[in-house]
Amino acid sequence: MKTKQLVTSALLTALSLLIPIAFGGYLRIYIPPFSATLASHVPSMISMLISPTAAVMVGLGSSLGFLLILGPVVAARAFIHVIFGVVGAYLIKKGFSFSKTLLLVTPIHALGEALIVLPLGFDLYTAFVVVGVGTILHHLIDSAVAIGLIKVLSTGLSLSGKNF
């Protein structure tokens, strides 16, 4: 991994830790037993544009952030960020667009989160309907945020204010 990619991955990892720790109280939607922290998938989604290694790094950071704040069940769900991130990074390497990739990894994300809570005591309805469908909706919202953010960042806005 090149230095720029490593630094960008580290910054995205820091964001993936910061979002649940610092902003979880403001961005969290809680419908027991399901919880969703808005924007928590955005760093993992953006990391797919860097590399599979970056996706692993950011996904693990996300999982750690949720472990520290919400415990092992939510951390186990967040671990799925590693899986959908790696798959997404490979799809982007194969030439798929960012938008299409985010759509294609949605079922992997939702099914992964639903399956990972089954051995943790969730019944089928709660796992697949509450967690699975909730994850689909959350993934799609965060996808829109990630796509918008990438579009803004790719326009070459400068900090000097000249291009605003």
- The helix or strand, by DSSP H or E, that contains position 106, with its residue range, turns out to be helix 106-117
C-alpha dist (Å) from residue 102 to 32, 44, 58, 66, 84: 26, 11, 16, 22, 9
Distance CA 121, CA 46 (A): 32
Looking at residue 155, what is its pLDDT? 82
Look up the CATH number of the domain holding residue 22.
Answer: 1.10.1760.20
Looking at residue 24, what is its pLDDT? 80
Structure tokens at 111: 């099914």
Distance CA 83, CA 90 (A): 11
Looking at residue 93, what is its pLDDT? 97
- Which range marks the domain in which residue 65 is found? 3-154
The answer to whether residue 53 sits within a structural domain is: yes
Q: Are 110 and 100 in contact (CB under 8 A)?
A: no
Name residue 109's amino acid. H
Looking at residue 164, what is its pLDDT? 37
The answer to whether residue 161 sits within a structural domain is: no
Q: Please give the chain's pLDDT, 164 residues, in tens.
A: 899 999 999 999 999 999 999 988 889 998 878 899 999 999 999 999 999 999 999 999 999 999 999 999 999 999 999 999 999 999 999 999 999 999 999 999 999 999 999 999 999 999 999 999 999 999 999 999 999 999 998 886 554 454 43
Looking at residue 163, what is its pLDDT? 41
Structure tokens at 131: 């967690």
Q: Is the pTM of this model over 0.85?
A: yes
DSSP 8-state assignment for residue 143: H
Looking at residue 33, what is its pLDDT? 80
How many structural domains is the chain composed of?
1
Name residue 79's amino acid. F
